[in-house]
Amino acid sequence: KSGFVAIVGRPNVGKSTFLNRVVGQKVAIMSDKAQTTRNKIQGIYTTNESQIVFLDTPGIHKPQNKLDEYMDQAALSSLQEVEAVLFMVSAIETRGAGDNYIIDQLKKVKTPVYLIINKIDEVDPNQLLPIMDTYKKAYPWAEVFPISALKGNNVDQLLDSLVKIL
């Protein structure tokens, strides 16, 4: 079993951290600064039975000019060609315009979307359910997965779930 999975999300939500953990080697630059990851970077998760090729997709953001618009179209069409999209958000930041824009874009694709709420190591367990609820309301079709890319919480469960849909 093998397939492609795209990762989208605003800068700094933890996409590169997740990729580095899953792929087991550094494939993307990690930084506190926004937009460090300039290119679509592929990392491959491999087990005995399966292989997932992850695509880091930094191109989805609100278009500012014609070139941006073109890039967004390219990013959007690449999302049609993968088996699943991981839409990553941060549990420690409130949902913003950037997240809402991506949600609107994802509504245009038929690909299954996993809403990954990252950085749960930083939130009180009691706060997690309300956070999950607000995202479920905004995007009811997505499967919601709270994880910590940094500490590894729930990452194996997410990978198992992805492998099942390949």
Per the annotation, where are the binding residues for GTP?
9-16, 56-60, 118-121
CB of 132 to ligand GDP, least distance (A): 16
Strand partners, 3: 52
Binding status of residue 14 toward ligand GDP by CB under 6 A: yes
Residue with tokens 């792929």: 23
| Site for ligand GDP, residues 133 to 152, rule: CB under 6 A | 148-150
Question: Binding Mg ion by CB under 5 A: which of 5, 6, 16, 148?
Answer: 16
Binding status of residue 17 toward Mg ion by CB under 5 A: no
Tokens of 126: 């009691």
Strand partners, 113: 85
Question: Binding ligand GDP by CB under 6 A: which of 119, 155, 158, 162?
Answer: 119
Q: How many CB atoms lie within 10 A of CB 25?
A: 8
Binding status of residue 37 toward Mg ion by CB under 5 A: yes
| Site for ligand GDP, residues 15 to 34, rule: CB under 6 A | 15-17, 30-32
Q: Which of 112, 118, 113 is nearest to 146 (CA)?
A: 118
Concatenated DSSP letters of 56-103: E-TT-S---SHHHHHHHHHHHHHHHTSSEEEEEEETTS---HHHHHHH
The stretches of the chain forming alpha helices (DSSP H) are 15-23, 66-80, 97-106, 125-138, 155-165
Nearest CB to ligand GDP, comparing residues 14 and 59: 14
Binding status of residue 76 toward ligand GDP by CB under 6 A: no
Nearest CB to ligand GDP, comparing residues 11 and 98: 11
Residue list, annotated binding site: 9-16, 56-60, 118-121
Nearest CB to ligand GDP, comparing residues 92 and 166: 92
In this structure, which amino acid lies at residue 115?
L
Q: What are the residues binding ligand GDP (CB under 6 A)? A: 9, 11-17, 30-32, 37, 118-119, 121-122, 148-150
